[in-house]
Structure 1
Amino acid sequence: MSHLQPDEALYSLLCKYLLNEAEAPERAWVDAWRKEGPANEAALAAIQRLLEAPAPAIRDFGISTGSSWDRLRATVTAQPATAAPEADIVPLRRKNTWWIAAATVAVLLMAGFWGLKRLGAGEQSFSGGQTAALNDGSRVQLAGNSTLTVDDDFGEAERRVRMSGKADFDIAPAAGKPFIVEAGGTEIKVLGTRFSVSFDTTLFIQVESGKIQVTDPSLGEPVVMTQGMSLRRNGADGGFEVSSGQSDHPMVFRDVPFGLVLETVEKRYHVNISVADPAMLEKRITVHFSGESVEEVIDALAYMVSASVESPTPGSYMLQPL
C-alpha cells in the first residue's frame, strides 16, 4: 500500500512518466493532466530539467560499505548486525537512488506550481479555454476570457461557484446539495441541468434542459427558468428580462454581444448561423423581434453589422462582411 500524500504521489507519477516507466493507464492520465492548463505543463517541464541534470558524483571517503550497512541495520531493527546474512542486504541501484532523490526534490520545488490551481484552504480556480471537471461529476466549459472559482467547502452542504465571462454548465444531480452559480449580485440555483451563462456588464442565461432558479434579493421573488427559456440583465441595477423560448414570444436584446444574439436565434429557430469575421461576435447591439420569420431576423441582424447573408444549405446561414 502506498503511504504517499496526494502531491507526493502526483510528482512520483510524473517522474515515472518522464522516465518512461509509467504504465499505459498512468501515461493516459498524465497526458490528460497536461492539457488542463499551462501550470501543469510548466511543472512537468521543471521536473524534466531536474531529471536531466547530471547525477552527483560519488566520492570514496574510505568508508567500509559492509560495516556501514551493519550499523544502519542495527539502528533500525535494534537487532545485532549478524541477525541476517550479508547476502540479504542489497544496496539500491544508482539509477533508482537518483530517481527517488529527483522525486523528493520535485515535491519541494513544484509545490508552487500546484498552488496555482488552489487558492486559500482548498479553494480552486480555473481560467478560460479549459473544461473544469468538478469533484461532483459536473463539468464547466469555459470560454477564453472566463474564470471559475470553486469554494473550499464545495459539496458539503451545497455546491457553490463564482464565475465571470462565458461558460457552459453540465451539472450532475445531487440530492440535497444544490449547485449555485454566483454571477455578480445574481445567484443561479440548479438541481441538475444544462445551461449557459455569460456575465460581464450584461448577464445572459440560457437553459438547455432541466430547471434553474435565478435570484437577486434586491429584485424580490426569484425567477424559475425551464428548458428553452433565456434571461438577460443589463448592469447590476437592471431587472430580469425573461423569454419563454416560444416562437411567438418577443426577443429583446439591449446592448448584448452579437454572438449571444446569434446563439439565441439559433436555438429559437433551430438553425445554424456562422460569421466569416469573428470580430462581428464582439459587437454589441440593441434590437427587438416579435414574430418575424427566421429570414427576416437574419436579414435584420446582417444589416446591423454591415454584412451580407449566404445560405449554402437549408437551415444554414453565413454572414459575410460587406
Structure 2
Amino acid sequence: MNNKTDIDIDIVIRYLEDPDNEQHKQALNDWIQADTGNLDIFLDMKAMWQGDALPTASPYDIQAQWDQLNAVLDATPATTGTAPQQGRIVPLTRKYWWAAAAAVVAIALTWTWLGPGSYQTFATATQQDSLLLPDGSKVYLNAHTSIRYARRFGQTNRNIRIDKGEAFFDVTRNETVPFIVNAPEVEVQVLGTAFNVKAASSGVKVFVQSGKVSAAYKGTEKKVILTPGVEASLQHNGTNIDTQLHKKSNNILAWKTRCLTFDDTPLAEVATSLADFYGVEISLSNPALSDKKLLATFRNMPLDEVLDIMRKTLQINITHKNNLVEIY
C-alpha cells in the first residue's frame, strides 16, 4: 500500500519504536493536532504495541478481519528487531499488521471505529449514516461528521460529543439519566426528544423537532429552553443566544429527509438552503431578485435540475460552474 493510511501508520510506528526521538515526537504531535480522531488511533495502537487488549465494543465484526489478517501473518516468517524500553522483543511485522488492518477497515466500513479505552468515535466521510445507541436512541449523521460517546453509555450517563458536522438525535426517554450532547463550547440536554445539532466553524445551531431541549454555553448560566420548531444559534466565544421560530416548511432537516421544500420562500433564503444542501457557493449578484419567491418541492434531485426549474419558474438567469452558482 502507498496511501495516506500508510503515512499515518508510519508516524505512529516510528514514535513507538523510538519514543525519545524528538523528531518523531514532533511528527506525532503535529499529526494528532491535525484531527481529533488521530488521538484515538494513537491510543489504540499504543495499547496494542504494549500488549494490552483492546475493548470489543464495536458494533462491527472487526475481530473476524483481525483473524483473517493473523492467518496470513502467521504463515509468514517473523523478523524481530531491537527491544523497546519495556524490555521485550517486538516483531517489526507489527507495522505491516496495523497497515493492513487499517486498510481492511477503511475499505469494508462506512464508519471509522477509533475507540480508545473509555469511549468510541464514529465518523462519516462523504456519505451519511445512522447509529443505534445502547439506550435505544438513534443518531443520524450527515457527511463529514464525527461523534463519540462512552463505552458505558446508558449505564451511568448518556453523554455524547459531536466534534464536527451535523447530527439528528431521536432520543429514547429516560427521566433518570438525561441525554446530553456536548458540542464546541455548547451543551444540549434533553430527556426524550428529537433534535438536530450542527457544529460549524462559526458556532453551534440546535433545532428541535419534538419535545424540549436546553441549550447552554458551557460554564455559564446562559441557556435557553427550545420547543418544537425553534432553532438556537450559539456563536464561538459568544455570550448571546439567538433563537428563531421556523415554519413547518423549513429545510433544516433536508440533509436527512433528502427533500427541499419552498413555500413562497424568498430567493435569498432559497439560495442559503441550496448552498447548505448541495455544498456549493451561491452568489445572488442582483439584490433586486432577493424578494422573488419560490413555490416548489425538490425530492433528492440533482442540483442542475433544480437550477433549471428555478430558471424557468422565476424567469431568472443562473450559471453553474465548478463549485459556484451565480444567480442574476
TM normalised by structure 2 equals 0.48
TM normalised by structure 1 equals 0.49
